[in-house]
Structure 1
Amino acid sequence: MKSCFAVSLSLYFFFFKTFSTGRSPELLDYECPNTTLFTPNSTYQSNLNTLLSSLSSAATNNTDGFANATAGQNPPDQAYGLFLCRSDISTATCSDCVATGKRDIRQVCPDQRVSVIWYEKCMLRYSNKSIFSVMEVTPSFTLLNLWNISERARFRQALGKSIRDIAYRASGSASGKKFAEAEMKFTSSQTLYMMVQCTPDLMEWECNRCLLSAIDILEGKQGARTLTPSCNVRYELYPFYNVTTVRAPPPPPLTTSEGPLPPPLPPPVTTPEGKSNKFTMITIVIVVPTGGVMILIFLTCLLRRRGKVTYEVVKGKSVVGNASANELITMESLQFDLATIQAATNDFSHESKLGEGGFGEVFKGGLPNGQPIAVKRLSQSSRQGDDEFKNEVLLVAKLQYRNLVRLLGFCLEGDEKLLAYEFVPNKSLDYFLFGIAMMQISKKRGQLDWPLRYKIVSGIARRMLYLHEDSRLRIIHRDLNCSNILLDSEINPKISDFGMARIFGVDQTQANTYKIVGTFGYLSPEYAMHGQISAKSDVYSFGVLTLEIICGKKNSCFFQSDGGENLASYAWKHWRAGTPLEVLEPFISNAYSIDEVVRCLHIGLLGVQEDPADRPTMASIVLTLTSHSVKLSQPRQPAFFLQRSTERRLKEPESDESTSGSMPWSTNEMSVTEVYPR
């Protein structure tokens, strides 16, 4: 019913625009869930009519392009609403768009208490609950240009960086409109136009999170847009907004017949006659000694602080180590006080405990607004926990990507270091693939049929592509494994645990380290043996992970049962023998695509090749999973490891320098089976 009406209404607007003045707003989409209905002639309907009239009136003389309003007194029947117009349109166009929305939204959503409608140049929404200063990314609506872009990989990289830059600019906009646009020369004949906008009632970090979530769906076409109740993002290869409106020209310099006037000189400082010399002497006598004392105090403090890594709270904003307040996080609202976390987790009770990992315990809790959370309580005795805490906050709070496990806040109080995440209900991927209780294995594995497994593999690949190429920061995860893949209510994979992640520069492709961190079986040979880190290190881990998802067998189980053979060698033997389907999880029914299984196995074997140069990039992996016409190169023999030799090396004492030339290792930095927020 909705789709038919939307099509007919869109056709109506098309013909109306074509044969009339062209000012009628273009309807894009609407959303009105059927679970929240009101009865005709009810109090809510009366309040809703009043609300929509108020919003329409507010738009007539509104220069901000945004307003909200309420109608009614009693909470069950109160109506809350707002509108948002594009910042490049005139007040008259905004008013016309909101007036059209007032009329249309009651037609397409006649008896719903919650509705939102999007047009080309405005958005109108209402609800029976307060929606003010609340960031919402669902429902969302996406439009993609049908034409592909040439040089897609380079386009994605350029677009990803540029559009995230203006997202951060819009979030912190001093004008309060939370709007930004930009142009970028892509080729000699192509210019990319980008525009982002949030509702101005959002806080900076909420706007940023909303925009990054919206940007996530962009597919690298010639144009795309995403609309949500709290923000919108769009880019095209043509100017779709009014450039002259959004860019007010600077005032011209004053000129004379001889050219521009020089800047005015500051007014002279005058003193009463006869007092200037005396005033100068007093100034010197006071300022010079005072300045010297200040310098001594500064140097003393600097020497005392030198070499220390501390946690501080400055004006409500946390500073971790040597990171500035702005680098860590710019919004105080991400910091929880200890009492809130204690109340949420019933004072870290045993009943609230979800699990325990190498860096501390994880508890389930609930915020006062009813939102469930998972709290990671870092162990006070873990030295590595300090580093993990810094990485988690600095990376996850900055990224706030909807398909990473979202960091809701943190707490630094006394000796406590706490991280609060969104609660992910379906636990981790290893829970379904490798059940501990044998009697439950078939039931758990049966829940992951092949279509779900293919969805998970594709989802993980897209998340890793975001980290490697599309995010504001270029991230190498370094600990990609089944326990760090959490599944949401719709079995969408979310990547967690960024305590070991490394930030790379824009042009950086490789780094070296003397501290090898990660999980047995997932470490690439060049990283495990020589400390060489690159995006191809994550590709190797992804290859192992893909093989585990296909086979339903954990890589480490082969060390115990097959005399040192690993999962890659097991899959390789069947690939060479022409029996690739033999490796498929036996609990999977016959409802699977042979092409998809073979394609995933092929990708997995390409990922675990010994030479990093032979492994594909995450961009090519995503393309291979989404386009069945892509031809793959033949995989080479995988890299093999025997666990016995690895275990012997791990027992060697840790040191910062190696006299024998071998790589120093630390067993404390290897997460064997970590339990993280579920």
Structure 2
Amino acid sequence: MKPTHRQSSSSPIIIIFFLLSLLLNLSYRAEAQDEPTYLFHSCSNATVFSPNSTYQRNLNVLLSNLSSNSSDYISGFTSGTAGLAPLDRVYGLFLCRGDQSQASCRDCVGYATGDVLRRCPKEKVSTIWYDQCMLTYSNQSILSTMRDSPFLVLYNTANISDPTRFNSLVDEATSILPLRTARSQIAGKKFAVQRADFTMLQRLYTLAQCTPDLTPTDCTMCLQTGAGVLLRGSHGARYFNPSCTIRYETYVFYNETAVALLLPPPPAPAPQPPPSLVPRPKVGNDITNAGSLQFDFAPILAATEDFSANNKLGEGGFGEVFKGVLRTGQLIAVKRLSRSSGQGAEEFKNEVMVVAKLQHRNLVRLLGFCLEGEEKILVYEYVHNKSLDNLLFDSEKQGRLDWSRRYKIIAGIARGMLYLHEESRLRIIHRDLKTSNVLLDADMNPKIADFGMARIFGVDQTQGTTNKVVGTFGYMSPEYAMHGQFSVKSDVYSFGVLVLEIISGEKNSSFYQSGTAEDLPSHAWKHWRDGTPMEVLDPILRDSCSRNEVIRCIHMSLLCLQEDPADRPTMAMIALMLNSYSVTLPVPQQPAFFFRSRTDQLYSESGEPGSSKSTSKSMPVSVNEVSITEVEPR
């Protein structure tokens, strides 16, 4: 929508955007684009310069200097002047968002120096904002000066649930951050972020930044002014002026990994006894920090008793997993990768380093790795309650999983997958999400295992088409199983199957009805279609559950199982569905793989009336669950 301009003699120009949620969902992923994400510009008509004038030549020199290799792209801030005569002197500066890389900062500034002249071709005073940087210049001194005009406010018009508590969190964050930002000098930046839990599935993310040349007092005042005009009760809002910015959102919009790297290292811990897993010293050109994760083979052999069968926890397409005990008594899980891995040693180490940086409370933590000859080994934290399938599909143990725990597990898995898809430093597609890859800690909190294994094992990981299908039949989306096409929506399909298994307590691949092989999604769809969705629920839970939660989870799972990937929700939408009952769920379509029993009269080979109109094609069903590690796509 068009900005609203308001101007008076006693107040600066106020520019307010009324933007929809989709337009505000600008995250740090824009960093990879060639052009920065444009937000707004301001051209003051009070003073203009003539073509080919001395001022224009000085301006060109200044912009060239600001975008040159000599600028400080590490701190993300450079200021300067051009011209000698006071009437023709130009003052300018740029500020890159604190989480931006040197390359992103350089690209944004380089683009801005040309873009601002296209938008403000003759004005002596101009400012242009992008999501990644800000550039401003003037014929008056602006260096080390707090400028509160012009300013820009953008906000999301969608209302937030529980606005009282949410506004309290916003007030707390926007009152603390100005002081923290003003006192910060991390990497030469006045920059700070804050994160707070709003609900089980939603967080508040806040960012504040000032130009480093401001005094702490001016920086605090600038940010407090901005915080005062931010709209409360909406999903997000941001304030800009040429000297500072403050913003809050309910999604992560900055690069958390880059921010973490800016922070000073914690103080060195007190000396500890030698660990059982002895890190190898760095040798030659080992990748950064690899030495802190690479361990010797002998202690791993001792911890697992030479990979004893008694210590074996499980086996999958990537290899075997063993329980291990260090000399200190600490328990670990050791994954011994199969020797068909497509990775070389250096590539393997690099991928391990990437995956090790992915840390979330709903992900199993990767502690380290070992390379010994042809052996490639991963060392993980040990999760005490083993895998979800160990409890869920055991008639004697499944009573420990009441409905509140199952709902908590569903929500935790959704949080972990949302982190992998949208909130982590890079997008990770799991490609084998299933009950055996969800572990439960001592408090029954779910932790997703085997994330990033496609990277570590040497399988292509970006969205696209692969000739090496990694996953488990029954959890695979149709486009992945039949054509090798995968994306985040492939994981969403797997999540849908997983949710139905948690609700029903039944295993998809061994589900039967009336003696005829039928998968769980088909069973759930028929009960949904017939208006009896509670029949899908595990019988032991029917007298002790929230009916609304159960039906909503079944509804959500069927949305995940739709044939067209575009029709499936994202993990962000799934998190919202679980978190807010004000969100209306769309009507689900028939699942992609719909196995009809012999008694189901909706289908007939002769094409009688009542036959399904779906274009889904049934695949041969296998009673036994099989992990597929290499399949040629059709």
Aligned twin of 1:496: 449
Distance (Å, rounded) in 1 between the aligned partners of 2:206 and 2:405: 32
Amino acid at match of 2:571: M
For the 8 Å contact 1:477–1:538, the answer to whether it is kept is yes
Aligned twin of 1:484: 437
Match of 1:460 among 395, 413, 424: 413
Distance (Å, rounded) in 2 between the aligned partners of 1:461 and 1:243: 42
Aligned twin of 1:472: 425
**CA drift at 1:445:** 1.1
**CA drift at 1:528:** 1.4
Aligned twin of 2:363: 404
For the 8 Å contact 1:390–1:499, the answer to whether it is kept is no
Match of 1:415 among 358, 371, 374: 374
Match of 1:373 among 332, 347, 361: 332
1:106-255 superposed matches below 5 A: 158=27, 181=98, 188-189=152-153, 224=204, 235-236=206-207, 244=215
User: CA 1:473–1:584 in structure 2 vs 1: closer, same or farther (change >3 Å)?
Assistant: same
User: CA 1:351–1:522 in structure 2 vs 1: closer, same or farther (change >3 Å)?
Assistant: closer
For the 8 Å contact 1:161–1:470, the answer to whether it is kept is no
1:321-332 superposed matches below 5 A: 325-326=286-287, 330-332=289-291
Aligned twin of 1:565: 518
Residue 385 of structure 2 aligns to a residue in which SS? coil
Aligned twin of 1:622: 575
TM-score (norm 1): 0.49
Distance (Å, rounded) in 2 between the aligned partners of 1:434 and 1:529: 28
**CA drift at 1:156:** 6.5
Amino acid at match of 2:306: D
1:663-678 superposed matches below 5 A: 667-669=628-630
1:559-617: CA deviations, max 9, x gaps? 69753421111111111111111110012151211110010000000000111111111
Aligned twin of 2:480: 527
Residue 189 of structure 1 aligns to a residue in which SS? strand
Count of residue pairs brought into register by the alignment: 387
Distance (Å, rounded) in 1 between the aligned partners of 2:545 and 2:482: 38
Residue 356 of structure 1 aligns to a residue in which SS? strand
1:179-230: CA deviations, max 9, x gaps? x955996594259989999xxxxxxxxxxxxx99x96958799995xxxxxx
Amino acid at match of 2:299: T
For the 8 Å contact 2:201–2:411, the answer to whether it is kept is no
Q: CA RMSD in A?
A: 4.6
Amino acid at match of 1:584: L
Aligned twin of 2:497: 544
1:45-100: CA deviations, max 9, x gaps? xxxxxxxxxxxxxxxxxxxxxxxxxxxxxxxxxxxxxxxxxxxxxxxxxxxxxxxx
Aligned twin of 1:203: none
Distance (Å, rounded) in 2 between the aligned partners of 1:152 and 1:241: 31
For the 8 Å contact 1:223–1:237, the answer to whether it is kept is no
Distance (Å, rounded) in 2 between the aligned partners of 1:340 and 1:246: 55
User: CA 1:574–1:593 in structure 2 vs 1: closer, same or farther (change >3 Å)?
Assistant: same
Residue 637 (str. 1) matches residue 596 (str. 2): no
For the 8 Å contact 1:396–1:406, the answer to whether it is kept is no
Residue 447 of structure 2 aligns to a residue in which SS? strand
For the 8 Å contact 2:439–2:448, the answer to whether it is kept is yes
Distance (Å, rounded) in 1 between the aligned partners of 2:21 and 2:454: 27
Distance (Å, rounded) in 2 between the aligned partners of 1:475 and 1:244: 41
Distance (Å, rounded) in 2 between the aligned partners of 1:221 and 1:371: 31
Distance (Å, rounded) in 1 between the aligned partners of 2:337 and 2:591: 37
Distance (Å, rounded) in 1 between the aligned partners of 2:407 and 2:462: 29
1:128-147: CA deviations, max 9, x gaps? xxxxxxxxxxxxxxxxxxxx
Match of 1:316 among 282, 286, 295: 282
Q: Which moves more between the two structures, 415-424 or 239-248?
A: 239-248
Distance (Å, rounded) in 2 between the aligned partners of 1:602 and 1:399: 31
For the 8 Å contact 1:359–1:385, the answer to whether it is kept is no
Amino acid at match of 2:295: F
**CA drift at 1:490:** 1.2
Residue 499 of structure 2 aligns to a residue in which SS? helix
Distance (Å, rounded) in 1 between the aligned partners of 2:180 and 2:377: 33
User: CA 1:151–1:428 in structure 2 vs 1: closer, same or farther (change >3 Å)?
Assistant: farther
Q: Which moves more between the two structures, 490-499 or 184-193?
A: 184-193
Unaligned runs of 5+ residues in structure 2 are: 1-17, 32-73, 76-96, 101-128, 132-150, 156-173, 182-191, 220-278, 596-616
Amino acid at match of 1:669: E
User: CA 1:389–1:153 in structure 2 vs 1: closer, same or farther (change >3 Å)?
Assistant: farther
For the 8 Å contact 2:365–2:380, the answer to whether it is kept is yes
Match of 2:307 among 341, 348, 359: 348
Residue 361 (str. 1) matches residue 323 (str. 2): no
Residue 518 (str. 1) matches residue 471 (str. 2): yes
For the 8 Å contact 2:98–2:209, the answer to whether it is kept is no
1:242-275: CA deviations, max 9, x gaps? 9656999xxxxxxxxxxxxxxxxxxxxxxxxxxx
Unaligned runs of 5+ residues in structure 1 are: 1-148, 163-171, 174-179, 198-210, 225-233, 249-312, 319-323, 436-440, 651-664, 671-678
Residue 556 of structure 1 aligns to a residue in which SS? helix
For the 8 Å contact 2:468–2:484, the answer to whether it is kept is yes
Residue 380 of structure 2 aligns to a residue in which SS? strand
1:455-493: CA deviations, max 9, x gaps? 111111111111111110011111111111111111111
**CA drift at 1:349:** 3.1
Distance (Å, rounded) in 1 between the aligned partners of 2:328 and 2:423: 33
Residue 362 of structure 1 aligns to a residue in which SS? strand
Distance (Å, rounded) in 2 between the aligned partners of 1:377 and 1:638: 36
Aligned twin of 1:262: none
Distance (Å, rounded) in 2 between the aligned partners of 1:572 and 1:366: 46
Amino acid at match of 1:571: A
1:372-428: CA deviations, max 9, x gaps? 111112234x34687996797254213133321111010112232111100000111
Residue 336 of structure 2 aligns to a residue in which SS? strand
Distance (Å, rounded) in 1 between the aligned partners of 2:398 and 2:283: 45
User: CA 1:315–1:558 in structure 2 vs 1: closer, same or farther (change >3 Å)?
Assistant: same
Residue 401 of structure 2 aligns to a residue in which SS? coil
Aligned twin of 2:138: none
User: CA 1:423–1:215 in structure 2 vs 1: closer, same or farther (change >3 Å)?
Assistant: farther
Residue 431 (str. 1) matches residue 300 (str. 2): no
User: CA 1:668–1:385 in structure 2 vs 1: closer, same or farther (change >3 Å)?
Assistant: farther
Aligned twin of 2:135: none
Residue 370 of structure 2 aligns to a residue in which SS? strand
Aligned twin of 1:48: none
Distance (Å, rounded) in 2 between the aligned partners of 1:405 and 1:429: 13
Amino acid at match of 1:235: T
Aligned twin of 1:585: 538
Distance (Å, rounded) in 2 between the aligned partners of 1:240 and 1:494: 41
1:300-337: CA deviations, max 9, x gaps? xxxxxxxxxxxxx997369xxxxx854xx524111111
Match of 1:607 among 534, 547, 560: 560
User: CA 1:220–1:626 in structure 2 vs 1: closer, same or farther (change >3 Å)?
Assistant: closer
**CA drift at 1:366:** 2.6
User: CA 1:391–1:596 in structure 2 vs 1: closer, same or farther (change >3 Å)?
Assistant: farther
TM-score (norm 2): 0.53
Residue 594 (str. 1) matches residue 555 (str. 2): no
User: CA 1:160–1:448 in structure 2 vs 1: closer, same or farther (change >3 Å)?
Assistant: farther
For the 8 Å contact 1:407–1:421, the answer to whether it is kept is yes
From the two aligned structures, give the one with the greater helix fraction: 1
